[in-house]
Structure 1
Amino acid sequence: MDYQNIFVGGQWREPASGKRISVECPANREIIGSCPEATEQDVDAAVNAAMAALAAPEWSATSGEDRASYIDALSAAIKSRTDDLAACAAQEIAAPYGFCKGQVAMARMTLKFYGQLARDYEFEERRQGYFGQVLVRKEPVGVVAAIVPFNGPLFAAMLKIGPALASGSTVVLKVPVETPLFSYVLAECIQEAGLPAGVINILAADRDASEHLVAHPDVAMASITGSVVAGRRVAEICGSQVKRAALELGGKSAAIVCADADLAIVVPELAKASVINSGQACAAQTRILIPRSRYEEYVSALADAYGSMKVGDPSDPETELGPMIHERHFNRVKACINAGVEEGARLVTGGGTPEHLEPGYFVEPTLLADVTNDMQVAREEIFGPVVCAIAYDDIDDAIGIANDSEMGLSGSVWTADVEAGIEIGRKIQTGNFTINGFSMDIAAPFGGYKSSGLGRELGEEGLQDYLEFKSINLPAG
C-alpha cells in the first residue's frame, strides 16, 4: 500500500513535494504502507478545488433530494468496500477486526441518516413574523476543513462529511498521519459515487499544514475531532478570523454504579465500556464510581474481567484489545500508570505488556483502585486502557464527583431503577449519557460540555453547524 498521489478536485494529483509518511502497524512495528505528506501548497490546491466545486452548478444548484442521492451513493460505495476498509483499519489502528467492521457500519449508518435528513429538511421556509412574512433560508456554510483522529477516522469523517454534503457545503478532509491509508479506499468510493469534482478532497498532513488549512481565508468552518489541546488551537485560529469552529474533544467520563445494581450483569458490560478500542476512545467510561459499601466487591470483579480480556493480534477473532497507536503514546500511557501509583493509587491488575507481544505497543487493561478524584490519573484523559475505581458515599456525592471534571463528554449510570437513573442523568454535566450501558445514537446529538467541545454531531442538530441562516423579509401584502 504505497500511494504516490493525493486526491484533490476529484482526481489523483502529484503532490507539491516529495515528503512521505511511512505507516507503521502498532501491533508489530512493521511498515505497512506509505503516502504523500501534504504541504501548504497541497492545502491551497485542495481549498481552491473545494471553492470551485462550491460555485459550480453541478453542486451549487442541487436540491436536498439531489444531495441525498449523492450521500446514498457514497454509502453504497462504502458498503461495497467494507472488507477492504475494515482490513485496512485492522492494520493501521491494529484494533480487532470486528471493531473495525463496526466502524464501517457506523459510517454507513451516519450517511444513511443524513441522506434522509437532506430529503426531509426544509432548507427554505416561509413563516409569519411580527411585521409580515419572512422567507427563511438555510444555506451551506461553505468550505469545511474536516480534521479527524487516528482512532476511528472513517466514522469520524462521516460525522462531518454527512452533514456537510446534506447542507451543500464542500470539504477538505484532513486525515491523520498515523492512519492515512484508509483514505485512499475512501477516495475510490467518492469517485464511484459520482460526486462532483472537488466536493470532497483528502489530504494527510501534520500540524503545520493542518494549521494552514484551518487558517485558510477561503475555509468557512473547521470541524475537528481530537484532543482538548488541538481543539483549543483550532478555536484560537477560528476565533481570530471570526469563522465557525465545531469541536468534539476529549473526555474523562464517569460511570456511576448504584448500590442496587446487579454486579453479575454490570461488570462484563462496564468493563468493555471502560476500555473500548483499548481506551483510545474519547467517550470511554474511564472513571468508575462505586458505592463505598460495595467497593472491594466491585474492584475484585472488575479485576477478574480485565484479567480475562484477550490482548493481542487484531486479526485473531478472539482478540478484544489491540495496542496503543505508536511508541510515543505507548510510553505516555505507561508513564500515566506509574504516576498514578506514585500518587497513591493501588495497581490491582494490568499495567504491563505481555511478553509475547513486546514488539508491539500493547498495554494490558489496567485497574487502579483507591483513586481519589483530585489525582492526576482521575483528571487527565489518558487515552489508554487505564481505569480508575473511585469510592463514593451517597448518590449526591457520586454526582458531585462525576461533575468535578474539566471535561463532560459522556457518562453512564448502572442501576435497577431506570427512573432513578434518568433523574441522575438529568444532573450529570455531559452531552451524552446512558442508563445501564454505553451508547450513542445516530439520530441524537453527540458532543460535550465544558472542555469536551463546542457544537454537536449527529442528529438534526449535527446539521445546524453547516448551515448559514438567512432571513428575507417580504413586502407587506
Structure 2
Amino acid sequence: MREYTKFFINGEWVEPAEAKKLDVINPSTEEVAGEISLGTEKDVDKAVAAAKEAFKTWGQSTREERIAVFERIIEEYKKRYDDLAAAVTEEMGAPTFLAQKAQAAMGVAHLQTALQVLKDFKFEEDKGTTRIVKEPIGVCAMITPWNWPLNQITCKVAPALATGCTMVLKPSEVAPFSAYIFAEVLEAAGVPKGVFNLVNGDGAGVGSALSSHPDVDMVSFTGSTRAGIEVAKNAAPTVKRVQQELGGKSPNIILDDDAFAKNVAAGIGGVMQNSGQSCNAPTRMFVPKARMGEVEEIAKATVEKFQPGAPESGAKMGPVVSDVQFKKIQDLIKKGIDEGATVAAGGEGKPEGLDKGYFVKPTVFTNATNDMTIAREEIFGPVLTVIGYDDVDQAVEMGNDTPYGLAGYVAGADHEAAMKIASRLRAGQIAVNNAAPDPGAPFGGYKQSGNGREWGEHAFADFLEIKAVMGASPAGK
C-alpha cells in the first residue's frame, strides 16, 4: 500500500501542519490502495511563501537556464515512466495499455512541446520606439482533476516553468499517486527549491485557500463548471487571473455518406475511451434520422469491443473512478430511459461477472432529443446520446445548443463539407474526420467550458504579463 503523507514544499518533503489522513481507493477492486494527508490553510501558506520567495530568482532566470531544467525533467520523467503509468492505473483505473500509451505519454508530450516552444518564444519585441515585454505573472496555483492526471498536471506545470513562474499544485485527492511521483521527478531533476510545490488535499481545505490566497497571482483550474465558478468567486476579491478548463457536452456531426458506418463506430469508440471520463468526449452524436436504425446495429457491434474489465486483463475499458461517479452515471442512465430514449446497447447496472469495482456498461442511447437530460448534462461516463437530424443546418443548430463549448467533431467523406461545418461550431477545439490529438494545438473552451487556452504555444499566454516600455528604442534608431 502506498503511503504518500508528506508534502513537497521548498524543495523538501515535509510533514503536514495537521495529521488528517485520507484513504485512496483502487476503483477496480474497491480496496484501499494508499493513504495521503489532507492539507490545510497552514500548509498552503507555507507553500505559497516558498513559491513567492523562489520567484525572486526563478522569475529572472534565463531562457538557457530553463531549457537545461526542462531537459533534466524530461530525462527523469522517462526514467519513472512505468512507475507513473502504474500509478495512474491504480488510482483511477485506466487500462494498462491506456496508462502506458496515452495517460503517461501525454505528460512527456506536454513537456517536450513546451521545451520546443521555449527555445524560440519571443519574450521581447520592439514596436516602433516601444518594447513589448512578456514577463512571468508570478506565483501560480494549480488545481487538477483525476481523469487525466498527468496530462492536466504537465499541461499547467510545463508552460509555468517555461515562462519563469513558480507554483503550488493541488492534485485531485481521488487520484494523487501520479502527482506525488511527478514531484519526485522534479526533485530528481534539480528544479530549484520553491519553484514547484505540492500540497495534497480537498477543495474545501486546500483548493479554496489557494484560489483566495493574496500572494497567488494566477489560478489554473481544471474540473467541473460548478467548481470552476467557485474558484472564480474565491479569486475575485484579489483580482487574480483565472484560467479554467471546465465541462463539455461535445457534438459529433456524422454526415450522410459512404463513410457513415466507419465514422459512427469511431465516434462511439471516442466516447468509450478512458471510460468516458474525458471533458472533450464526443458525447452527443448527430446522425440523419433515416439512418438511426443503422446506428443501433453499429452500436451493438462496437460496444462489444469495449466490454470493461480489470486494467491488466487486456480489456479496452476499465472502471469509472469512484462509487460517487458510478452512482451519478447510473442515475443519468435511468433518467435517459425514463425520458424515452432507446437503449441501443448497455444500460443500467454493472456488466455481467464484474461485481467488484466501479464498472459501467458501455451505453448508447438512440432516438434521443436535444432537450433530454442525457443530452444536456455532462455524464462523465461511457454513455453516448444519439440524436437525429433532418438536415445539416439543424445538426449545427442543435450542436451549438448547449451551455458548453469545449470541443466539437465532424466526420464525412467530403472533407471540404466537413470543414465548412467545423467553422460553424462554437467550440474551442474541433476534430475533423477523427483527427488525432495534437499537443501543440490550443485546448480550451467557449461559453461555460472555461477561458484561456492550454497546450503548446498558446498555453504560455496565461502565465505571462505584458509590459510596454516606451522609449526603449530611441526615435530614428
TM-score, normalised via structure 2 length: 0.96
User: For 1:370, which of 345, 360, 367 is the aligned residue?
Assistant: 367
Aligned length: 470
Counterpart position of 1:195? 191
Instruction: Report if the CA contact (8 A) 2:11-2:187 is conserved.
Output: yes
Task: Describe the superposition over 1:240-293 as per-residue Cα deviations: whole angstroms up to 9, x where unpaired.
Answer: 321100000110011111001424422332221122211110011111101012
Equivalent residue number for residue 71 of structure 1 = 70
The one-letter code sitting in structure 2 at the alignment partner of 1:178 is V
Amino acid in structure 1 at the alignment position of 2:106: M
Native 8 Å contact 1:412 1:438 kept in 2: no
Alignment correspondent of 2:392: 395
Residue in structure 1 matching 2:254, options 254, 257, 269: 257
Q: Which residue of 2 aligns with 1:147?
A: 143
Once residues 471 and 355 of structure 1 are traced to their aligned partners in structure 2, the CA distance between those partners, rounded to angstroms, is 64
The CA deviation string for residues 290-319 of structure 1, in whole angstroms up to 9 with x for no partner, is: 101211112221222113323010112x21
Q: Does 1:138 align with 2:134?
A: yes
Q: Are positions 1:92 and 2:91 aligned together? A: yes
Supply the AA of the counterpart residue of 1:279: G
CA contact (8 A) 2:59 2:138 kept: no
Q: Cα–Cα, structure 1 residues 190 and 167, in superposed 2: closer, same or farther, change >3 Å?
A: same
Aligned position for 1:51: 52
What letter corresponds to residue 323 of structure 2 in structure 1?
A: E
1:381 — aligned with what?
378
Query: Which residue of structure 1 aligns with residue 121 of structure 2?
Result: 121
Match of 1:35 in 2: 36
What CA RMSD, in Å, does the superposition of the two structures yield over aligned residues?
1.3
1:441 to 403, 425, 438: 438
C-alpha separation in 2, matches of 1:377 and 1:426: 26
TM-score between the two structures when normalised by the length of structure 1: 0.96
Separation in 2, partners of 1:329, 1:207: 17
Q: Secondary structure at the match of 1:138?
A: strand
Is 1:2 the equivalent of 2:9? Answer: no
1: CA distance between counterparts of 2:19 and 2:329?
33
Q: Which residue of structure 2 aligns with residue 110 of structure 1?
A: 110
SS of structure 2 residue aligned to 1:2: strand
- Check whether the contact 1:68–1:116 (CA below 8 A) recurs between aligned residues: no
Deviations 1:162-208 (A, max 9, x none): 11011100110111110111122111101111110011111111122
- Please report how far the alpha carbon of residue 458 of structure 1 lies from its aligned counterpart in structure 2 after TM superposition: 1.2
**3-state SS in 2 of match to 1:465:** helix
Q: Is the 8 A contact 1:29 1:360 kept in 2?
A: yes
Give, in angstroms, the shift of residue 125 of structure 1. Answer: 2.3
Question: Are the aligned partners of 2:219 and 2:243 in contact in 1 as well (CA < 8 Å)?
Answer: yes
State the alpha-carbon separation in 2 of the partners of residues 366 and 75 from structure 1: 39
How far apart in 2 are the matches of 1:343 and 1:241? 45
Q: Secondary structure at the match of 1:367?
A: strand
Identity over the aligned pairs, expressed in percent? Answer: 40
Contact 1:64 1:121 in 2 (8 A): no
Q: How far, CA to CA, are the matches of 1:413 and 1:156 in structure 2?
A: 25
Give how far 1:160 is off. Answer: 0.5
C-alpha contact (below 8 Å) 1:9/1:49 kept by paired residues? yes
Question: What 5-or-longer segments of structure 2 have no aligned partner?
Answer: none
Amino acid corresponding to residue 123 of structure 1 in structure 2: F
Q: 1:316-372, CA deviations, whole angstroms, 9 ceiling, x for partnerless residues?
A: 2x2111111111111110000001111111122112312421111110101111110
Contact residue 110 and residue 456 of structure 2 kept, 8 A: no
